[in-house]
Amino acid sequence: MLNPYELLKELTRLHGGSGDEDAVRDRLTEVIRPFVDELHTDATGNLIAFKKGTGSGPRVMLSAHMDEVSLMITHIADMGLLRFRTVGGIDPRILIGKRVLVGPDRLPGVIGTKPIHLQTAADRKNATKLKDLRIDIGANDKTQAENLVKLGDRAVFDYEPVEFGDNKLMAKGLDDRAGCAVLAWLLQERYTFDVYGCFTVQEEIGLRGAKTASFAVMPDYAIILEGTTCYDVPDTKEHLMSTWLGKGPALTIMDRAVISNRPLVDFIVETARQNGIPYQFKQTLSGGTDAGRIQGSGEGVKVATMAVPCRYIHTPVSVLDRGDFDAMRRLASATLKRLPELFGRT
């Protein structure tokens, strides 16, 4: 049996900016190949696994995205410093003082800032803009930098996972390697219905991979496994916290991309109650997941999203609670096992 938590840690160490998910896909391919009946990578880069059911029933798609937020080199400036843009949503204010790896050779680099000693009063008040940030790889000058880095090269965060506090895990890319790890683990089981396990690409730049994956699969039901926003920190109004760490996986009723299929959500809640698994509802309506794309495929798909709350997502230091991760795995598994009951109802 897979150890889902160890797999999670391993996956967060891999780098996979949107459109550049190869390392994650290669590892996941190795991991799930023994459990699945068919496996292929589609034209956009989604990894799609098929697992034949033991009986008949609707097609169920399970989906998690492989990509993470990253940076792209857009200009090689004077002094050999690199200008860049973000690939996916990153608050430029969190980039100062971070370590990154640039390009296919993973050159170590850092993002600096004008020292506090040289800042004006306005500098101290106003946030640094993305256009004023640079990656420094130690190049002597522009020419040397041009030999080391190409425009379009990716820069990824260079952060190792750390276990700390009361059952907490800090890692980059928990959004959505947490979903990937759970999905890989779920594929070990055989279900009565056909299951398509889709590890999608390019979620962070507009839910792009899921569009082609769901078109190919044309599922009846889809459950999206995610890492979601959580901001349960002091001085935040409770209704703006989105989710709480340690209160179980979060179910989405509605976000900017989808209104979940209510019967499916209710069924998941029922499952959680029956099994004594904690769950919560995501409170904010911001963001969107692959569920939006999948729901709109073909004649429409019944979707629900289940997510591990992650503090500080879209930074290199996101944090989850291992209890939540474990609860999401158990809830997803329990739901799938009794999913045929739901087919009967509808």
Partner 1 sequence: MELNDSLKVLCGLSAVTGREKGAASQIAALFEPLCDEVRTDAFGNVYASCRGEGRNPRTVLVTAHYDEIGLVVTGIEDSGFLRFAAMGGIDAKTLPAQEFTVFGREPLYGVIGAKPPHLVSAEEMEKVIPIDDLRIDIGYSGDEAKKRVRVGDVVGFRFPVIEMKNNRMASNAMDNRSGVAALLETLRLLKGLRHDDHVVVAATVQEELGLRGAVAAAFSTAPDLGIVVDVCHADMPDAPPDDQFPLGKGVAIAIGPIVHPARTKEVIELAKRERIPYQLDPEPGDTGTEAAALQVAREGIPTILLSIPCRYMHSTVETISLDDVRGTAQLAARFIAAGPWKEKEGGTTC
- Residues carrying an active site annotation: 203
Strand-strand pairing, 60-65 and 47-51 = unpaired
Taking the least distance from each CB to partner 1, the nearer of 19 and 109 is: 109
Among 6, 38, 91, 341, binds partner 1 (CB under 8 A): 91
Task: Report the DSSP beta bridge partners of residue 258.
Answer: none
Q: Check residue 205 for interaction with partner 1 (CB under 8 A).
A: no
Q: How far is the CB of 131 from partner 1 (least distance, A)?
A: 11
Distance CA 326, CA 335 (A): 14
Q: Check residue 96 for interaction with partner 1 (CB under 8 A).
A: yes
> Which positions from 218 through 247 interact with partner 1, judged by CB under 8 A?
229-236, 240, 242
Cβ proximity of 289 and 208 under 8 Å: no
Which stretch in 4-12, 13-21, 107-115, 179-187 sits in contact with partner 1 by CB under 8 A? 107-115
Q: How far is the CB of 34 from partner 1 (least distance, A)?
A: 35
Q: Check residue 166 for interaction with partner 1 (CB under 8 A).
A: yes
**Residue 328: exposed, middle, or buried by beta-carbon count in 10 A (0-12, 13-18, 19+)?**
buried
Residue type, 61: M
> Which positions from 69 through 88 interact with partner 1, judged by CB under 8 A?
77-79, 81
Cβ proximity of 21 and 68 under 8 Å: no
Distance CA 45, CA 319 (A): 28
Among 8, 31, 66, 90, binds partner 1 (CB under 8 A): 90
Distance CA 193, CA 59 (A): 7
Q: Check residue 37 for interaction with partner 1 (CB under 8 A).
A: no
Over the window 253 to 292, marking each residue x when it contacts partner 1 by CB under 8 A and - when it does not, the resulting string is: -------------------------------x-xx-----
Q: Check residue 201 for interaction with partner 1 (CB under 8 A).
A: no
For partner 1 (CB under 8 A), the number of binding residues is: 72
**Which runs of E-coded beta strand occur in 201-301?**
221-230, 250-251, 280-281
Cβ proximity of 303 and 260 under 8 Å: yes
> Around 307, how many Cα atoms within 13 Å sit in the side-chain half-sphere?
32
Taking the least distance from each CB to partner 1, the nearer of 113 and 275 is: 113
Which residue in the block uniquely carries the two structure tokens 């429409």?
A: 300
Q: How far is the CB of 326 from partner 1 (least distance, A)?
A: 16
Among 128, 192, 275, 333, binds partner 1 (CB under 8 A): 128
